[in-house]
Structure 1
Protein backbone atom coordinates (compact mmCIF):
# COMPACT_ATOMS: atom_id res chain seq x y z
CA UNK A 1 0.00 0.00 0.00
CA UNK A 2 1.44 3.34 -1.02
CA UNK A 3 1.35 6.14 1.51
CA UNK A 4 0.82 9.59 0.08
CA UNK A 5 2.37 12.39 2.09
CA UNK A 6 0.07 15.24 2.89
CA UNK A 7 1.28 18.63 1.66
CA UNK A 8 -0.39 21.50 3.41
CA UNK A 9 -0.49 25.17 2.56
CA UNK A 10 1.64 25.86 5.64
CA UNK A 11 4.33 23.46 4.36
CA UNK A 12 4.40 25.10 0.94
CA UNK A 13 4.63 28.55 2.48
CA UNK A 14 7.55 27.62 4.74
CA UNK A 15 9.40 25.92 1.91
CA UNK A 16 8.90 28.90 -0.36
CA UNK A 17 10.09 31.40 2.27
CA UNK A 18 13.13 29.26 3.03
CA UNK A 19 14.11 29.22 -0.63
CA UNK A 20 13.61 32.98 -0.84
CA UNK A 21 15.88 33.47 2.16
CA UNK A 22 18.53 31.23 0.60
CA UNK A 23 18.41 33.20 -2.63
CA UNK A 24 18.55 36.48 -0.76
CA UNK A 25 21.51 35.23 1.31
CA UNK A 26 23.45 34.30 -1.83
CA UNK A 27 22.71 37.74 -3.29
CA UNK A 28 23.92 39.37 -0.09
CA UNK A 29 27.17 37.38 -0.20
CA UNK A 30 27.80 38.31 -3.83
CA UNK A 31 27.02 41.98 -3.20
CA UNK A 32 29.40 41.99 -0.25
CA UNK A 33 32.15 40.45 -2.37
CA UNK A 34 31.56 42.95 -5.18
CA UNK A 35 31.59 45.98 -2.87
CA UNK A 36 34.64 44.87 -0.85
CA UNK A 37 36.59 43.31 -3.71
CA UNK A 38 37.51 40.25 -1.63
CA UNK A 39 36.07 36.79 -1.28
CA UNK A 40 36.63 36.50 2.47
CA UNK A 41 34.84 39.14 4.53
CA UNK A 42 34.55 37.02 7.67
CA UNK A 43 36.34 33.86 8.83
CA UNK A 44 33.23 31.74 8.28
CA UNK A 45 33.35 32.52 4.55
CA UNK A 46 36.44 30.30 4.17
CA UNK A 47 38.13 29.07 7.38
CA UNK A 48 41.17 27.56 5.67
CA UNK A 49 41.50 30.54 3.35
CA UNK A 50 41.29 32.87 6.36
CA UNK A 51 44.25 31.08 7.95
CA UNK A 52 46.26 31.52 4.75
CA UNK A 53 45.31 35.20 4.54
CA UNK A 54 46.40 35.83 8.13
CA UNK A 55 49.70 34.05 7.52
CA UNK A 56 50.37 36.03 4.33
CA UNK A 57 49.41 39.33 5.98
CA UNK A 58 51.88 38.59 8.77
CA UNK A 59 54.51 37.71 6.19
CA UNK A 60 53.94 41.03 4.42
CA UNK A 61 54.29 42.94 7.69
CA UNK A 62 57.62 41.21 8.32
CA UNK A 63 58.80 42.00 4.79
CA UNK A 64 57.80 45.63 5.25
CA UNK A 65 59.85 45.81 8.44
CA UNK A 66 62.83 44.16 6.74
CA UNK A 67 62.50 46.71 3.94
CA UNK A 68 62.57 49.60 6.42
CA UNK A 69 65.58 48.06 8.18
CA UNK A 70 67.44 47.61 4.90
CA UNK A 71 66.69 51.18 3.80
CA UNK A 72 67.95 52.53 7.12
CA UNK A 73 71.05 50.34 6.93
CA UNK A 74 71.69 51.48 3.38
CA UNK A 75 71.57 55.11 4.56
CA UNK A 76 74.10 54.37 7.32
CA UNK A 77 76.46 52.65 4.90
CA UNK A 78 76.18 55.39 2.28
CA UNK A 79 76.98 57.98 4.96
CA UNK A 80 80.06 56.00 6.02
CA UNK A 81 81.16 55.56 2.41
CA UNK A 82 80.95 59.30 1.78
CA UNK A 83 82.92 60.06 4.96
CA UNK A 84 85.62 57.53 4.08
CA UNK A 85 85.92 58.76 0.50
CA UNK A 86 86.29 62.33 1.73
CA UNK A 87 88.83 61.23 4.37
CA UNK A 88 90.84 59.33 1.78
CA UNK A 89 91.01 62.35 -0.51
CA UNK A 90 91.97 64.62 2.39
CA UNK A 91 94.73 62.29 3.58
CA UNK A 92 96.06 61.98 0.04
CA UNK A 93 96.25 65.77 -0.11
CA UNK A 94 98.08 65.77 3.24
CA UNK A 95 100.58 63.28 1.80
CA UNK A 96 101.23 65.53 -1.18
CA UNK A 97 101.82 68.46 1.15
CA UNK A 98 104.18 66.37 3.26
CA UNK A 99 106.19 65.50 0.13
CA UNK A 100 106.35 69.20 -0.73
CA UNK A 101 107.51 69.98 2.80
CA UNK A 102 110.48 67.71 2.26
CA UNK A 103 111.82 70.07 -0.40
CA UNK A 104 115.01 71.49 1.10
CA UNK A 105 114.80 74.61 -1.05
CA UNK A 106 111.46 75.63 0.50
CA UNK A 107 111.62 78.62 2.80
CA UNK A 108 110.28 78.90 6.35
CA UNK A 109 107.26 80.97 5.29
CA UNK A 110 106.23 78.39 2.71
CA UNK A 111 106.59 75.60 5.27
CA UNK A 112 104.39 77.47 7.72
CA UNK A 113 101.79 77.83 4.98
CA UNK A 114 101.96 74.07 4.39
CA UNK A 115 101.63 73.47 8.13
CA UNK A 116 98.48 75.60 8.28
CA UNK A 117 97.00 73.70 5.34
CA UNK A 118 97.76 70.37 6.99
CA UNK A 119 96.13 71.59 10.19
CA UNK A 120 93.03 72.42 8.16
CA UNK A 121 93.08 68.89 6.75
CA UNK A 122 93.39 67.51 10.31
CA UNK A 123 90.29 69.44 11.35
CA UNK A 124 88.41 68.21 8.25
CA UNK A 125 89.42 64.61 9.02
CA UNK A 126 88.26 64.99 12.61
CA UNK A 127 84.92 66.30 11.38
CA UNK A 128 84.57 63.29 9.04
CA UNK A 129 85.46 60.92 11.88
CA UNK A 130 82.60 62.47 13.88
CA UNK A 131 80.10 62.14 11.02
CA UNK A 132 76.56 61.42 12.19
CA UNK A 133 73.42 59.98 10.65
CA UNK A 134 70.14 61.17 12.19
CA UNK A 135 72.12 62.50 15.13
CA UNK A 136 74.02 59.26 15.77
CA UNK A 137 77.77 58.91 15.13
CA UNK A 138 78.53 56.33 12.43
CA UNK A 139 82.05 55.60 13.72
CA UNK A 140 81.26 55.17 17.43
CA UNK A 141 78.89 52.21 17.56
CA UNK A 142 76.09 52.67 20.05
CA UNK A 143 77.64 55.73 21.69
CA UNK A 144 75.44 58.79 21.47
CA UNK A 145 78.17 61.45 21.52
CA UNK A 146 80.98 62.21 19.07
CA UNK A 147 83.32 59.38 18.12
CA UNK A 148 86.51 61.35 18.86
CA UNK A 149 87.51 64.10 21.22
CA UNK A 150 89.68 67.00 20.15
CA UNK A 151 93.28 67.85 20.92
CA UNK A 152 92.32 69.21 24.34
CA UNK A 153 89.93 66.41 25.34
CA UNK A 154 89.92 65.62 29.06
CA UNK A 155 90.40 61.91 28.35
CA UNK A 156 93.45 62.61 26.22
CA UNK A 157 94.10 64.13 22.81
CA UNK A 158 91.94 62.55 20.09
CA UNK A 159 90.58 59.88 22.42
CA UNK A 160 88.07 57.42 20.95
CA UNK A 161 84.64 57.58 22.63
CA UNK A 162 83.15 54.41 21.17
CA UNK A 163 82.43 51.23 23.11
CA UNK A 164 84.49 48.20 22.11
CA UNK A 165 82.34 45.49 20.52
CA UNK A 166 79.17 47.60 20.52
CA UNK A 167 78.04 47.61 16.90
CA UNK A 168 74.96 48.86 15.09
CA UNK A 169 73.18 46.13 13.12
CA UNK A 170 70.04 45.87 11.04
CA UNK A 171 67.98 42.70 10.46
CA UNK A 172 67.25 42.45 6.74
CA UNK A 173 65.90 38.88 6.61
CA UNK A 174 65.05 36.03 8.90
CA UNK A 175 68.18 35.35 11.00
CA UNK A 176 70.21 37.69 8.78
CA UNK A 177 71.76 40.86 10.20
CA UNK A 178 74.17 43.32 8.64
CA UNK A 179 76.51 45.65 10.48
CA UNK A 180 75.90 49.22 9.35
CA UNK A 181 78.46 51.19 11.38
CA UNK A 182 82.27 51.25 11.48
CA UNK A 183 84.80 51.35 14.31
CA UNK A 184 86.45 54.76 14.24
CA UNK A 185 89.55 53.64 16.13
CA UNK A 186 90.24 50.99 13.47
CA UNK A 187 89.90 53.58 10.69
CA UNK A 188 91.50 56.71 12.12
CA UNK A 189 93.46 55.31 15.05
CA UNK A 190 93.16 56.86 18.51
CA UNK A 191 95.18 59.04 20.81
CA UNK A 192 98.86 59.36 19.91
CA UNK A 193 98.44 56.70 17.21
CA UNK A 194 95.64 58.56 15.45
CA UNK A 195 95.92 60.17 12.05
CA UNK A 196 95.07 63.49 13.71
CA UNK A 197 98.06 63.29 16.04
CA UNK A 198 100.24 62.31 13.05
CA UNK A 199 99.18 65.43 11.14
CA UNK A 200 99.87 67.51 14.25
CA UNK A 201 103.44 66.14 14.33
CA UNK A 202 103.92 66.85 10.62
CA UNK A 203 102.62 70.38 11.12
CA UNK A 204 104.93 70.94 14.07
CA UNK A 205 107.89 69.69 12.04
CA UNK A 206 107.08 72.07 9.21
CA UNK A 207 106.68 75.01 11.58
CA UNK A 208 110.09 74.18 13.02
CA UNK A 209 111.54 74.22 9.51
CA UNK A 210 112.22 70.47 9.48
CA UNK A 211 111.67 67.72 6.90
CA UNK A 212 108.41 65.80 7.52
CA UNK A 213 108.90 63.26 4.71
CA UNK A 214 109.98 60.62 7.21
CA UNK A 215 106.33 60.30 8.19
CA UNK A 216 105.15 59.34 4.71
CA UNK A 217 105.06 55.65 5.59
CA UNK A 218 102.83 56.45 8.57
CA UNK A 219 100.45 58.37 6.30
CA UNK A 220 100.39 55.41 3.91
CA UNK A 221 99.44 53.07 6.76
CA UNK A 222 96.51 55.27 7.70
CA UNK A 223 95.45 55.45 4.06
CA UNK A 224 95.53 51.65 3.93
CA UNK A 225 93.24 51.54 6.99
CA UNK A 226 90.74 53.81 5.30
CA UNK A 227 90.85 51.82 2.05
CA UNK A 228 90.38 48.56 3.97
CA UNK A 229 87.30 49.94 5.69
CA UNK A 230 86.01 51.26 2.37
CA UNK A 231 86.26 47.76 0.94
CA UNK A 232 84.48 46.20 3.94
CA UNK A 233 81.79 48.87 3.84
CA UNK A 234 81.25 48.24 0.14
CA UNK A 235 80.81 44.52 0.81
CA UNK A 236 78.14 45.29 3.41
CA UNK A 237 76.41 47.62 0.97
CA UNK A 238 76.27 44.80 -1.58
CA UNK A 239 74.77 42.54 1.08
CA UNK A 240 72.07 45.10 1.87
CA UNK A 241 71.36 45.67 -1.84
CA UNK A 242 70.92 41.93 -2.36
CA UNK A 243 68.61 41.78 0.64
CA UNK A 244 66.52 44.66 -0.74
CA UNK A 245 66.15 42.89 -4.08
CA UNK A 246 65.11 39.67 -2.33
CA UNK A 247 62.62 41.56 -0.14
CA UNK A 248 61.10 43.19 -3.21
CA UNK A 249 60.74 39.83 -4.98
CA UNK A 250 59.24 38.15 -1.90
CA UNK A 251 56.81 41.03 -1.43
CA UNK A 252 55.52 40.67 -4.99
CA UNK A 253 55.20 36.90 -4.55
CA UNK A 254 53.35 37.30 -1.26
CA UNK A 255 50.92 39.85 -2.70
CA UNK A 256 50.26 37.61 -5.70
CA UNK A 257 49.50 34.63 -3.46
CA UNK A 258 47.28 36.76 -1.23
CA UNK A 259 45.39 38.08 -4.24
CA UNK A 260 44.82 34.57 -5.55
CA UNK A 261 43.21 33.60 -2.24
CA UNK A 262 41.03 36.60 -1.43
CA UNK A 263 40.61 38.83 -4.48
CA UNK A 264 37.37 38.34 -6.40
CA UNK A 265 36.96 37.88 -10.13
CA UNK A 266 34.80 40.98 -10.55
CA UNK A 267 33.40 39.98 -13.94
CA UNK A 268 32.39 36.54 -12.62
CA UNK A 269 30.81 38.03 -9.48
CA UNK A 270 28.74 40.48 -11.56
CA UNK A 271 27.57 37.63 -13.78
CA UNK A 272 26.68 35.44 -10.78
CA UNK A 273 24.86 38.33 -9.12
CA UNK A 274 22.78 38.99 -12.20
CA UNK A 275 21.90 35.30 -12.44
CA UNK A 276 20.98 35.24 -8.77
CA UNK A 277 18.78 38.34 -9.18
CA UNK A 278 16.90 36.65 -12.01
CA UNK A 279 16.43 33.55 -9.86
CA UNK A 280 15.27 35.68 -6.94
CA UNK A 281 12.74 37.55 -9.07
CA UNK A 282 11.43 34.21 -10.36
CA UNK A 283 11.19 32.87 -6.81
CA UNK A 284 9.26 35.97 -5.76
CA UNK A 285 6.81 35.45 -8.62
CA UNK A 286 6.32 31.79 -7.68
CA UNK A 287 5.86 32.70 -4.04
CA UNK A 288 3.24 35.27 -4.95
CA UNK A 289 1.20 32.63 -6.71
CA UNK A 290 1.61 30.04 -3.96
CA UNK A 291 0.80 32.42 -1.12
CA UNK A 292 -2.07 34.12 -2.93
CA UNK A 293 -4.98 31.80 -1.92
CA UNK A 294 -7.08 32.99 1.04
CA UNK A 295 -9.86 31.38 3.09
CA UNK A 296 -12.41 32.62 0.57
CA UNK A 297 -10.48 30.84 -2.21
CA UNK A 298 -10.80 27.55 -0.28
CA UNK A 299 -14.53 28.14 0.44
CA UNK A 300 -15.24 28.52 -3.23
Structure 2
Protein backbone atom coordinates (compact mmCIF):
# COMPACT_ATOMS: atom_id res chain seq x y z
CA UNK A 1 0.00 0.00 0.00
CA UNK A 2 1.54 3.28 -1.11
CA UNK A 3 1.03 6.56 0.64
CA UNK A 4 0.86 9.80 -1.29
CA UNK A 5 3.13 12.36 0.28
CA UNK A 6 1.47 15.75 0.58
CA UNK A 7 4.17 18.39 0.49
CA UNK A 8 3.83 21.91 1.80
CA UNK A 9 4.04 23.22 -1.78
CA UNK A 10 1.12 21.01 -2.84
CA UNK A 11 -0.94 22.40 0.01
CA UNK A 12 -0.09 25.91 -1.07
CA UNK A 13 -1.10 25.18 -4.68
CA UNK A 14 -4.40 23.66 -3.60
CA UNK A 15 -5.16 26.56 -1.27
CA UNK A 16 -4.40 29.14 -3.94
CA UNK A 17 -6.59 27.27 -6.45
CA UNK A 18 -9.46 27.33 -3.96
CA UNK A 19 -9.02 31.07 -3.49
CA UNK A 20 -9.04 31.65 -7.26
CA UNK A 21 -12.11 29.47 -7.68
CA UNK A 22 -13.97 31.36 -4.95
CA UNK A 23 -12.84 34.69 -6.39
CA UNK A 24 -14.09 33.76 -9.88
CA UNK A 25 -17.47 32.67 -8.51
CA UNK A 26 -17.77 35.86 -6.48
CA UNK A 27 -16.78 37.99 -9.49
CA UNK A 28 -19.44 36.31 -11.62
CA UNK A 29 -22.12 36.97 -9.00
CA UNK A 30 -20.99 40.59 -8.67
CA UNK A 31 -21.26 40.97 -12.44
CA UNK A 32 -24.76 39.51 -12.44
CA UNK A 33 -25.77 41.82 -9.60
CA UNK A 34 -24.56 44.93 -11.44
CA UNK A 35 -25.88 43.96 -14.90
CA UNK A 36 -29.01 42.19 -13.60
CA UNK A 37 -28.40 39.58 -16.31
CA UNK A 38 -28.01 35.90 -15.57
CA UNK A 39 -26.46 35.13 -18.97
CA UNK A 40 -23.52 37.39 -19.76
CA UNK A 41 -21.90 35.10 -22.32
CA UNK A 42 -23.14 31.99 -24.16
CA UNK A 43 -21.04 29.61 -22.06
CA UNK A 44 -22.93 30.70 -18.94
CA UNK A 45 -25.98 28.76 -20.17
CA UNK A 46 -25.84 27.38 -23.75
CA UNK A 47 -29.43 26.12 -23.67
CA UNK A 48 -30.67 29.36 -22.16
CA UNK A 49 -28.72 31.36 -24.73
CA UNK A 50 -30.34 29.41 -27.58
CA UNK A 51 -33.79 29.99 -26.10
CA UNK A 52 -33.09 33.69 -25.59
CA UNK A 53 -31.96 34.05 -29.21
CA UNK A 54 -35.15 32.39 -30.41
CA UNK A 55 -37.31 34.62 -28.22
CA UNK A 56 -35.51 37.76 -29.36
CA UNK A 57 -35.98 36.73 -33.00
CA UNK A 58 -39.72 36.44 -32.31
CA UNK A 59 -39.60 39.85 -30.63
CA UNK A 60 -37.94 41.44 -33.66
CA UNK A 61 -40.52 39.87 -35.97
CA UNK A 62 -43.34 41.17 -33.78
CA UNK A 63 -41.82 44.65 -33.80
CA UNK A 64 -41.74 44.55 -37.60
CA UNK A 65 -45.37 43.41 -37.71
CA UNK A 66 -46.29 46.43 -35.58
CA UNK A 67 -44.41 48.73 -37.97
CA UNK A 68 -46.27 47.15 -40.89
CA UNK A 69 -49.57 47.60 -39.08
CA UNK A 70 -48.85 51.26 -38.33
CA UNK A 71 -47.96 51.86 -41.97
CA UNK A 72 -51.08 49.99 -43.05
CA UNK A 73 -53.25 52.16 -40.81
CA UNK A 74 -51.67 55.20 -42.43
CA UNK A 75 -52.59 53.89 -45.88
CA UNK A 76 -56.14 53.05 -44.85
CA UNK A 77 -56.60 56.44 -43.19
CA UNK A 78 -55.53 58.12 -46.42
CA UNK A 79 -57.91 55.90 -48.41
CA UNK A 80 -60.76 56.60 -45.99
CA UNK A 81 -60.18 60.36 -46.13
CA UNK A 82 -60.11 60.36 -49.94
CA UNK A 83 -63.28 58.28 -50.18
CA UNK A 84 -65.11 60.36 -47.59
CA UNK A 85 -64.35 63.43 -49.68
CA UNK A 86 -65.35 61.53 -52.82
CA UNK A 87 -68.67 60.65 -51.20
CA UNK A 88 -69.28 64.28 -50.30
CA UNK A 89 -68.46 65.42 -53.83
CA UNK A 90 -70.73 62.82 -55.41
CA UNK A 91 -73.59 63.95 -53.18
CA UNK A 92 -72.91 67.50 -54.33
CA UNK A 93 -72.91 66.37 -57.96
CA UNK A 94 -76.25 64.63 -57.45
CA UNK A 95 -77.72 67.76 -55.91
CA UNK A 96 -76.58 69.83 -58.89
CA UNK A 97 -77.98 67.34 -61.40
CA UNK A 98 -81.30 67.18 -59.56
CA UNK A 99 -81.38 70.97 -59.61
CA UNK A 100 -80.69 71.06 -63.34
CA UNK A 101 -83.21 68.31 -64.08
CA UNK A 102 -86.03 69.84 -62.04
CA UNK A 103 -85.61 73.48 -63.02
CA UNK A 104 -87.10 72.99 -66.47
CA UNK A 105 -86.25 75.88 -68.71
CA UNK A 106 -83.25 77.67 -67.29
CA UNK A 107 -81.39 80.69 -68.43
CA UNK A 108 -78.08 80.32 -70.13
CA UNK A 109 -76.40 81.96 -67.16
CA UNK A 110 -77.88 79.58 -64.58
CA UNK A 111 -77.13 76.56 -66.76
CA UNK A 112 -73.54 77.70 -67.12
CA UNK A 113 -73.23 78.19 -63.36
CA UNK A 114 -74.46 74.64 -62.70
CA UNK A 115 -72.19 73.21 -65.40
CA UNK A 116 -69.19 74.99 -63.90
CA UNK A 117 -69.99 73.59 -60.45
CA UNK A 118 -70.29 70.09 -61.90
CA UNK A 119 -66.88 70.51 -63.53
CA UNK A 120 -65.50 71.71 -60.20
CA UNK A 121 -66.81 68.49 -58.64
CA UNK A 122 -65.12 66.53 -61.43
CA UNK A 123 -61.81 68.25 -60.68
CA UNK A 124 -62.20 67.59 -56.96
CA UNK A 125 -62.86 63.91 -57.65
CA UNK A 126 -59.83 63.74 -59.91
CA UNK A 127 -57.75 65.19 -57.10
CA UNK A 128 -59.00 62.53 -54.67
CA UNK A 129 -58.41 59.78 -57.24
CA UNK A 130 -54.77 60.93 -57.37
CA UNK A 131 -54.36 61.09 -53.59
CA UNK A 132 -51.08 59.71 -52.25
CA UNK A 133 -49.58 58.36 -49.05
CA UNK A 134 -45.84 58.69 -48.46
CA UNK A 135 -45.43 59.56 -52.13
CA UNK A 136 -47.37 56.60 -53.52
CA UNK A 137 -50.79 56.65 -55.12
CA UNK A 138 -53.37 54.98 -52.91
CA UNK A 139 -55.60 54.07 -55.87
CA UNK A 140 -53.00 52.82 -58.37
CA UNK A 141 -52.25 49.38 -56.95
CA UNK A 142 -48.57 48.48 -57.06
CA UNK A 143 -47.89 50.89 -59.93
CA UNK A 144 -45.17 53.48 -59.39
CA UNK A 145 -47.01 56.02 -61.56
CA UNK A 146 -46.97 59.57 -60.22
CA UNK A 147 -50.75 59.79 -60.61
CA UNK A 148 -53.45 57.16 -60.91
CA UNK A 149 -55.47 59.22 -63.41
CA UNK A 150 -54.60 61.69 -66.14
CA UNK A 151 -56.83 63.69 -68.49
CA UNK A 152 -56.20 62.87 -72.16
CA UNK A 153 -56.45 65.22 -75.18
CA UNK A 154 -59.51 63.33 -76.42
CA UNK A 155 -61.40 64.23 -73.25
CA UNK A 156 -61.10 60.82 -71.59
CA UNK A 157 -59.29 59.93 -68.39
CA UNK A 158 -56.71 57.16 -68.43
CA UNK A 159 -55.98 54.93 -65.45
CA UNK A 160 -52.29 54.28 -64.84
CA UNK A 161 -52.76 51.80 -62.00
CA UNK A 162 -51.93 48.11 -61.92
CA UNK A 163 -53.92 45.06 -60.91
CA UNK A 164 -51.59 44.34 -57.97
CA UNK A 165 -52.58 45.17 -54.41
CA UNK A 166 -50.67 46.87 -51.60
CA UNK A 167 -50.61 44.50 -48.63
CA UNK A 168 -49.11 44.60 -45.16
CA UNK A 169 -48.27 41.54 -43.06
CA UNK A 170 -49.36 42.31 -39.51
CA UNK A 171 -48.72 38.91 -37.93
CA UNK A 172 -47.16 35.62 -38.91
CA UNK A 173 -50.30 34.49 -40.72
CA UNK A 174 -52.35 37.69 -41.28
CA UNK A 175 -51.95 39.99 -44.29
CA UNK A 176 -54.23 42.97 -44.91
CA UNK A 177 -54.81 44.92 -48.09
CA UNK A 178 -54.30 48.63 -47.40
CA UNK A 179 -54.98 50.32 -50.75
CA UNK A 180 -58.18 50.55 -52.83
CA UNK A 181 -59.02 49.66 -56.42
CA UNK A 182 -59.06 52.95 -58.29
CA UNK A 183 -60.51 51.45 -61.45
CA UNK A 184 -63.48 50.09 -59.49
CA UNK A 185 -64.05 53.35 -57.63
CA UNK A 186 -63.53 55.87 -60.41
CA UNK A 187 -63.65 53.86 -63.65
CA UNK A 188 -61.48 54.31 -66.74
CA UNK A 189 -61.55 56.14 -70.07
CA UNK A 190 -65.11 56.92 -71.24
CA UNK A 191 -66.50 54.73 -68.46
CA UNK A 192 -65.07 56.88 -65.67
CA UNK A 193 -67.01 59.05 -63.27
CA UNK A 194 -65.03 62.01 -64.61
CA UNK A 195 -66.29 61.36 -68.15
CA UNK A 196 -69.82 61.06 -66.76
CA UNK A 197 -69.61 64.49 -65.14
CA UNK A 198 -68.13 65.97 -68.32
CA UNK A 199 -71.10 64.63 -70.24
CA UNK A 200 -73.57 65.92 -67.67
CA UNK A 201 -71.99 69.39 -67.71
CA UNK A 202 -72.25 69.45 -71.50
CA UNK A 203 -75.90 68.34 -71.36
CA UNK A 204 -76.71 71.05 -68.82
CA UNK A 205 -75.22 73.68 -71.10
CA UNK A 206 -77.18 72.26 -74.04
CA UNK A 207 -80.43 72.18 -72.07
CA UNK A 208 -80.70 68.40 -72.49
CA UNK A 209 -82.42 66.08 -70.02
CA UNK A 210 -79.90 65.12 -67.32
CA UNK A 211 -82.37 63.16 -65.18
CA UNK A 212 -80.98 59.71 -66.14
CA UNK A 213 -77.56 60.77 -64.83
CA UNK A 214 -78.92 60.80 -61.27
CA UNK A 215 -79.07 57.00 -61.19
CA UNK A 216 -75.55 56.80 -62.61
CA UNK A 217 -74.20 59.11 -59.91
CA UNK A 218 -76.03 57.06 -57.28
CA UNK A 219 -74.31 53.94 -58.60
CA UNK A 220 -70.90 55.57 -58.25
CA UNK A 221 -71.78 56.73 -54.75
CA UNK A 222 -72.84 53.22 -53.79
CA UNK A 223 -69.43 51.96 -54.87
CA UNK A 224 -67.82 54.54 -52.63
CA UNK A 225 -69.90 53.70 -49.56
CA UNK A 226 -69.21 50.00 -50.09
CA UNK A 227 -65.47 50.66 -50.33
CA UNK A 228 -65.65 52.81 -47.19
CA UNK A 229 -67.20 49.90 -45.29
CA UNK A 230 -64.44 47.59 -46.52
CA UNK A 231 -61.77 50.09 -45.51
CA UNK A 232 -63.33 50.44 -42.07
CA UNK A 233 -63.34 46.67 -41.61
CA UNK A 234 -59.67 46.44 -42.58
CA UNK A 235 -58.79 49.23 -40.17
CA UNK A 236 -60.61 47.41 -37.38
CA UNK A 237 -58.74 44.22 -38.27
CA UNK A 238 -55.40 46.00 -37.96
CA UNK A 239 -56.36 47.59 -34.65
CA UNK A 240 -57.47 44.24 -33.27
CA UNK A 241 -54.21 42.61 -34.38
CA UNK A 242 -52.20 45.44 -32.80
CA UNK A 243 -53.92 44.63 -29.52
CA UNK A 244 -53.05 40.95 -29.91
CA UNK A 245 -49.46 41.86 -30.80
CA UNK A 246 -49.19 44.04 -27.69
CA UNK A 247 -50.19 41.10 -25.51
CA UNK A 248 -47.72 38.83 -27.30
CA UNK A 249 -44.95 41.39 -26.81
CA UNK A 250 -45.58 41.53 -23.06
CA UNK A 251 -45.45 37.74 -22.91
CA UNK A 252 -42.21 37.65 -24.89
CA UNK A 253 -40.59 40.24 -22.65
CA UNK A 254 -41.56 38.19 -19.62
CA UNK A 255 -40.16 35.01 -21.18
CA UNK A 256 -36.90 36.75 -22.15
CA UNK A 257 -36.55 38.16 -18.65
CA UNK A 258 -37.11 34.72 -17.13
CA UNK A 259 -34.26 33.33 -19.25
CA UNK A 260 -31.77 36.20 -19.19
CA UNK A 261 -32.35 38.20 -16.02
CA UNK A 262 -31.30 37.38 -12.48
CA UNK A 263 -33.45 37.08 -9.41
CA UNK A 264 -31.76 39.94 -7.57
CA UNK A 265 -32.73 38.83 -4.06
CA UNK A 266 -31.53 35.28 -4.68
CA UNK A 267 -28.32 36.46 -6.32
CA UNK A 268 -27.51 38.77 -3.39
CA UNK A 269 -27.94 35.87 -0.97
CA UNK A 270 -25.57 33.73 -3.08
CA UNK A 271 -23.11 36.62 -3.29
CA UNK A 272 -23.05 37.04 0.49
CA UNK A 273 -22.51 33.31 0.92
CA UNK A 274 -19.72 33.38 -1.67
CA UNK A 275 -18.05 36.31 0.08
CA UNK A 276 -18.07 34.34 3.35
CA UNK A 277 -16.56 31.33 1.56
CA UNK A 278 -13.95 33.57 -0.06
CA UNK A 279 -12.92 35.09 3.26
CA UNK A 280 -12.67 31.60 4.77
CA UNK A 281 -10.54 30.44 1.85
CA UNK A 282 -8.29 33.46 2.28
CA UNK A 283 -7.85 32.67 5.97
CA UNK A 284 -7.04 29.04 5.30
CA UNK A 285 -4.61 29.96 2.55
CA UNK A 286 -2.85 32.49 4.76
CA UNK A 287 -2.18 29.77 7.32
CA UNK A 288 -0.92 27.37 4.66
CA UNK A 289 1.40 29.98 3.22
CA UNK A 290 3.05 30.77 6.61
CA UNK A 291 6.77 29.93 6.43
CA UNK A 292 7.86 26.81 8.29
CA UNK A 293 11.04 26.20 10.26
CA UNK A 294 12.29 23.86 7.54
CA UNK A 295 11.97 26.66 4.95
CA UNK A 296 14.21 28.84 7.08
CA UNK A 297 16.71 25.99 7.59
CA UNK A 298 16.81 24.99 3.91
TM-score, length basis structure 2: 0.93
| 1:7 Cα offset (Å) | 2.8
Aligned mates of 1:99, 1:297 — CA distance in 2: 120
Aligned mates of 2:98, 2:200 — CA distance in 1: 11
Aligned mates of 1:274, 1:86 — CA distance in 2: 70
Give the match's secondary structure for 1:121: helix
Aligned residue pair count: 296
| Residues 110-119 or 85-94, more deviating | 110-119
* Residue 69 (structure 2) pairs with residue 70 (structure 1): yes
Aligned mates of 1:114, 1:79 — CA distance in 2: 30
Aligned mates of 2:273, 2:169 — CA distance in 1: 52
* Residue 148 (structure 2) pairs with residue 150 (structure 1): no
Which residue of structure 1 lines up, in the alignment, with residue 22 of structure 2? 23
| 1:278 Cα offset (Å) | 2.6
Give the match's secondary structure for 1:170: strand
Aligned mates of 1:44, 1:68 — CA distance in 2: 34
Which residue of structure 2 lines up, in the alignment, with residue 104 of structure 1? 104
Aligned mates of 1:150, 1:240 — CA distance in 2: 35
Which residue of structure 1 lines up, in the alignment, with residue 206 of structure 2? 208
Structure 2: runs of 5+ lacking an equivalent: none
Which residue of structure 1 lines up, in the alignment, with residue 172 of structure 2? 174
Aligned mates of 2:151, 2:269 — CA distance in 1: 77
Aligned mates of 1:29, 1:150 — CA distance in 2: 73
Aligned mates of 1:119, 1:297 — CA distance in 2: 113
Q: What is the RMSD of the two structures over their aligned residues, measured on CA atoms?
A: 1.9
Structure 1: runs of 5+ lacking an equivalent: none
Runs of 4+ in 1 over 6 A off after TM superposition: none
Q: Deviations over 1:168-215 (max 9, x none)?
A: 111111132111111101011111111111111111111123332221
Aligned mates of 1:15, 1:247 — CA distance in 2: 56
Which residue of structure 2 lines up, in the alignment, with residue 136 of structure 1? 136
Paired residues for 1:216-231 under 5 Å: 216-231=214-229
| 1:299 Cα offset (Å) | 4.8
| 1:36 Cα offset (Å) | 2.0
